[in-house]
Amino acid sequence: MISIHNSISNKIDHYKFWNDRVIETRLKSQRGYLTILAVYALTEGRDELNEEFYATLEKILDKVNKNGYIMLIGDMNARVRNNRFSNIVGTNGEATLNSNGRKLIDFCTFSNLKIMNTLFKHKEIHKFTWEARGHK
């Protein structure tokens, strides 16, 4: 789901429901266009489905108009560690890397995207949105 404030709803150029995991919204701004892909990736441990998800996401990204800015936002169910990696991952993440994180890093490398939340400092409590019981 993408929520758009009433004050900018007139800036919507178009929106598209790609599938149950990806929605696209394109907004007109003073600097050009902003395409937002709201994404909900699969959870960890579903490797075959995750491969299919990223292949589909790649096809969708290929079809998105590249004139302007692109933001891929949402829940990627990924943990990407805090080691700087090719200007894609910054040093402000957590200490863990999972298989979804590896897939996200590979996807961002191939698609020339950055994982922005690792490039800015956060309080520890703000680095996580959910934590399994009994795990740190």
Kindly report the length of the chain.
136
Confidence of residue 100 (pLDDT cuts 50, 70, 90): confident
Parallel/antiparallel/unpaired status of strands 32-40 and 22-29: antiparallel
Domain definitions of the chain by residue range: 6-126
State pLDDT tens for residues 108-130: 888 888 877 766 676 766 666 65
pLDDT of residue 56: 94
Q: What CA–CA distance (Å, rounded) separates 6 from 22?
A: 22
The predicted model gives 60-82 an average pLDDT of: 85
pTM of the shown model: 0.77
State pLDDT tens for residues 12-42: 999 999 999 999 999 998 889 999 999 998 8
Closest C-alpha to 53, from 62, 63, 43: 43
| Torsions phi, psi for 117 (to 5 deg) | -70, -10
